[in-house]
Amino acid sequence: MSEKSKLIISDTTLRDGEQSPGASMTRDEKVRIAKALERMRVDVIEAGFPAASGGDFEAVQAVAGAVRDSRICALARAHEQDIRRAAEALADAEAARIHTFLATSPIHMEKKLKMTPEQVLEQAVRAVRLARSLCDDVEFSPEDAGRSDPDFLCRVIEAVIDAGATTVNIPDTVGYAVPHQFAELIRSLIERVPNSDKAIFSVHCHNDLGLAVANSLAAVLAGARQVECTINGLGERAGNASLEEIVMAVRTRQDVFPCDTDINTREIVPTSRLVSNITGFPVQPNKAIVGANAFAHESGIHQDGVLKHRETYEIMRAEDVGWHTNRMVLGKHSGRAAFRSRLQELGITFESEEQLNEAFARFKELADKKHEIFDEDLQALATETSTELENERVKLVFLSVCSQTGETPRAKVTLSVDGVERHAEAEGSGPVDASFKAIEQIVASESELVLYSVNSITTGTDAQGEVTVRLDKGGRIVNGQGADTDIVIASARAYVNAVNKLWQGGSRTHPQVGGI
Ligand code: KIV
Ligand code: ZN
């Protein structure tokens, strides 16, 4: 990369992103997202917090075993047990990182940790030393750095670098910073810490005031060379800095930034869709880069300008971030070879030939109903095929709904449960409600429906609806997905998918743990 320095992209969708309330991911879903991040050439993937639960440990282990081209990072509090657990989970990684953290702000030290600053400093150093004895790449975060005393921060940072930290990450944990002040903090830390040249300075900004991306970019201009971010800006509370916005701001404004990333930007939109589909967090239409309207021109003046010369109103090319302009890709007569080849072009791979065959059968079914199949349809189809779990206990066999003006909607459902067909009928306030009630009569999941969302995958009335259903059973949250040109069928499939996850223990991989 010529004379420009490299900006390291550390993605924390699988860790901080999963802390978004309800953004649950199973181990296999985390692996699918990690593979997409690897294709995008993300440098570091923070895969989870192994000490938080057995599920999170297994997810980090699975990601570490599946990804070869990105460094896999595991989070650990500054405790011996957490750090050893992180190292264990990372054992199979081609390149590993332990990320340990301890709060340094007066309010966190006094009220949460009940420790003096000297004790915090000592514990941070001990944690980094231990981590470094287990892994040659160690990141340390002084949690709530944005509200910490800069003099104390300088002492802690100098000490952890001496103890072996290779990356020092400055988190604005509560999203309190504003850009010029955060930039000044980063600049002064780099200037004042005597051994700052021995570590990469990183930032991790939360979006409580809507400033996460602005703060991160200001920090980059002040010398930070790693940004922690997430796909679609997912993350605790209002989320983290969004990866797509950071990457495209730096790429588009090379006249301003002294660095660039290695990200393959064409993977941005497919990865955004995948994350949205798996987590059940829709992307708002006006979201920068990945929103459906991000490259749409409504006003006549704009349309006219773009047709005459694209750059009159466009600062980026839609295709450079993975929006396809020529999107009609396959139809009813397309064969298996064309199907497989298009999936490969989209970076979609299946774990087995059986899954590919299953996806092809679904494609043929879809092509019978829908004249033109777009890339987005293929993505949804692939997501559905690979989110279906092995050993699914419940399958949707038959669904019929009757909905007419002046009548109460009614649904008849047949499910196969552990291989036995079961039937139910129910009324509801609408056809979806009636279908869910009929399914519940059979499965009796005793869960609460906490989210139901439908997204149109493409345009037109023959578009597939992509449905997410979120169920909560005593605090265990699962997301189910379904897609079909008939949104009632898509909804029933999503509900059944969620029930299967509940029954297979596919809940969020870790509960909230005090301290983060
Ligand atoms: O926001 C935060 O401070 C964190 C740390 C664990 C880096 O997520
Ligand atoms: Zn965070």
Q: What is the pLDDT of residue 345?
A: 67
Helix axes 80-89, 54-66, angle to 10 degrees: 40
Question: How far, in Å, from the CA of 236 to the mean position of ligand 2?
Answer: 6
Cβ of 171 less than 6 Å from ligand 1: yes
DSSP reduced 3-state for 171: strand
Q: How confident is the model at residue 376 (pLDDT cuts 50, 70, 90)?
A: confident
Per-residue three-class SS string for 446-491: CCEEEEEEEEECCCCCCCCEEEEEEEEECCEEEEEEEEECCHHHHH
Which ligand neighbours the alpha carbon of 144 most closely? 1
Q: Kindly report the protein residue whose alpha carbon is nearest to atom 2 of ligand 1.
A: 173
Torsion angle of the four alpha carbons 495, 496, 499, 504, in this order, in degrees rounded to the nearest 10: -140
Please give the single-letter amino acid code of residue 273: R
Token pair belonging to 283: 């992307």
Question: How far, in Å, from the CA of 243 to the mean position of ligand 2?
Answer: 14
Token pair belonging to 285: 């239409």
Q: What is the pLDDT of residues 55-64, one digit of tens each?
A: 999 999 999 9
The mean per-residue pLDDT over the stretch 206-221 comes to 98
Task: Single out the residue of 339, 330, 297, 341 nearest to residue 315, CA to CA.
Answer: 297
Mutate to test the pocket of ligand 1, among 20, 82, 172, 516 (most ligand atoms within 8 A of CB): 516
Atom from ligand 1 closest to the CA of residue 169: 7
- CA distance linking residue 293 with residue 323, whole number of Å: 11
In 137-272, at which residue ranges do the beta strands (DSSP E only) sit? 138-143, 167-172, 200-205, 226-229, 259-260
Q: What is the pLDDT of residues 257-286, one digit of tens each?
A: 999 999 999 999 989 988 998 888 889 889
Question: How far, in Å, from the CA of 95 to the mean position of ligand 1?
Answer: 22
Residue with tokens 């054992």, as numbered in its chain: 91
H-helix or E-strand containing 373?
strand 373-374
Question: How far, in Å, from the CA of 204 to the mean position of ligand 2?
Answer: 7
Q: What is the pLDDT of residues 64-120, one digit of tens each?
A: 999 999 999 999 999 999 999 999 999 999 999 999 999 999 999 999 999 999 999
Question: How far, in Å, from the CA of 320 to the mean position of ligand 2?
Answer: 29
Burial of 217 (0-12, 13-18, 19+ CB in 10 A): buried
Atom from ligand 1 closest to the CA of residue 75: 6
Question: How far, in Å, from the CA of 171 to the mean position of ligand 1?
Answer: 6
Cβ of 60 less than 6 Å from ligand 1: no
CB 250 within 8 A of CB 217: yes
Residue 422 β-bridge partners: 415
Q: How confident is the model at residue 296 (pLDDT cuts 50, 70, 90)?
A: confident
Mutate to test the pocket of ligand 1, among 49, 206, 226, 512 (most ligand atoms within 8 A of CB): 206
CB 189 within 8 A of CB 222: no
- CA distance linking residue 171 with residue 493, whole number of Å: 40
CB 509 within 8 A of CB 25: yes
Which ligand neighbours the alpha carbon of 141 most closely? 1
Dump the DSSP string for 296-317: ---SHHHHHHHHH-GGGT-SS-
Which ligand neighbours the alpha carbon of 173 most closely? 1
Q: What is the pLDDT of residue 177?
A: 97
Residue 292 has pLDDT above 90, yes or no: no
Q: What is the pLDDT of residue 338?
A: 83
Q: What is the pLDDT of residue 153?
A: 98
Which has the minimum average pLDDT: 33-42, 367-376, 422-431, 447-456?
367-376
Kindly state the DSSP code that residue 242 receives in the 8-state scheme. Answer: B
